[in-house]
Amino acid sequence: MSTPGPSQKKIRSQPPDVIVAVGNGESMQEFHCYRVILSFASDYFDSMLSARMIENETGRIEFPNKDPLMWKKFYSFIDPDKLSGAETQAKLDMKTAVAFVPWFHEFQMTRFLKKCDMILAERVEEIKANEDYVKYGYELCDIDKNGVLDEVVELLKLSCTYDLDKTEDKAEEYICTLLENIQSTSHLFDVKKIESFYSLFAPVDKNLCTVYYEDGQEEIVREIIPSGQCKRICYALMKMSVSSDEQVYISDLVADLSSETINNAEVFPLLLHSYVLRAASVATVLSYKEKLADKDKSLGAAKSIINDLLLKTPDQYHELCQSIEGQKHSQISREWQCLFQKHVLTPTRVKQQFREKMRRVNHASSTTGWRTPTLDGRPFF
């Protein structure tokens, strides 16, 4: 096996062959790098150092508008010498991903962009997982105490600017979930947030389309079409109801506006914000109506059962009262007691109702000799 002669050098011992000047004026620093490392890591540098460009001929690349400290950190991501030296190769985390996404995008470093996209998407997933209201419907009054929505909006804007598809998808999903619970989250969506969303999905266009119904009828409606990004957020806003009595949505109000108005970046976000507040009020009203309807339905069923007990089986009703009295610590008993107290079903009032019913029955049946039932020689009530 031959050994390298005096004139032969190992590849690893070759000196750097390109100078990267970063910064301007007194803050400018020169970094001695390897063009092969830059070319393998970045399509941008591969094209620059392979073509007949001045950087390739002079062996010097200049970035006067970049920070030298940031370049040092950037080069540590791709420098293989860090793997064998005392220093360790830099690792991507949440903070560095946000900071260097613009660099990786500018230098066409697809592999690093995908890593950043994965890290930022996982961050949004983490935020969503920590919000128990998404799963359990808790009250949302404390949702933004740590400014998580601001963080998600910033990540959304970053993902739209630098084509981070996974992060954009997760951020949109999170924001749409909040919009679906607008009766509890309206305080989060101020004018600034609406302006941010509008800047992403604008411009907005209106289009006529035909809607066909099952009964054979058809209707021509105006459809709102966002031409930018974040279309899901636009559609989530447009489908918000703004009437508790009729099927009227924000899209119906927007359809009545002129194209100049809905594409005015100063006016339209203000109008859209007012529509969102209106939708929040309507959602609150509808929520209360549903709760009252459910409550009335449950109470109606309970009253029906108790009335049947009063009229048809007074013995079983008396047994029920004794059972409730003897099981004060049971959850079911407490619910029945609450029902009795709230809805005029206390024993005293029940006795009065029953006596009144019996009087009517006695009066109607006086010719038959029917009388109020007794227990141990005393009237049942």
Give the largest Cα separation in the chain, rounded. Answer: 135
DSSP 379: E
Nearest to 160 by CA among 87, 225, 231, 61: 231
| Structure confidence by residue, pLDDT tens digits, 27-71 | 999 999 999 999 999 999 999 998 788 988 999 999 999 999 999
pTM of the predicted protein model: 0.69
**Which residue's structure tokens are 């985390």?**
93
Question: Cis peptide leading into 373, omega within 30 of 0?
Answer: no
DSSP letter for each residue of 133-154: HHHH----TTTTTT-HHHHHHH
On whether the CB atoms of residues 282 and 241 are closer than 8 A, the answer is yes
Q: What do you get for the CA distance between the two ends of the chain, in Å?
A: 115
Angle (CA) 74-77-81 rounded to 5° is 115
Question: What does each of the 381 residues of the chain score in pLDDT, given as a tens digit?
Answer: 455 555 555 656 678 889 999 999 899 999 999 999 999 999 999 999 987 889 889 999 999 999 999 999 999 998 876 544 444 556 889 999 999 999 999 999 999 999 999 999 999 999 888 765 444 444 444 555 557 899 999 999 999 999 999 999 999 999 999 999 888 888 889 999 999 999 999 998 888 777 677 777 777 777 888 999 999 999 999 999 998 888 889 998 998 888 899 999 999 999 999 999 999 988 888 877 776 666 666 666 666 666 665 665 565 556 556 655 555 555 555 555 555 554 444 455 555 665 666 666 555 555 545 454 444 454 444
Q: In what order do the strands lie in the sheet with 29-33?
A: 29-33, 18-22, 60-63
pLDDT digits (tens, 9 = 90+) for 350-359: 556 656 666 6
Catalogue the E-assigned strands of the chain.
18-22, 29-33, 60-63, 204-212, 218-226, 374-375, 378-379
Q: Give me 234's structure tokens.
A: 């636009």
Tokens for 341, please give them.
Answer: 């107290």
Using an 8 Å Cβ cutoff, are 179 and 237 in contact?
Answer: yes
Angstrom distance (rounded) from CA 66 to CA 63: 6
Q: Is 324 helix (H, G, I), strand (E, B) or coil?
A: helix
CA–CA separation, 246 and 243 (whole Å): 6
Rounded CA-CA distance 324/141 in Å is 38
Give the distance from CA 194 to its chain's centroid. Answer: 15
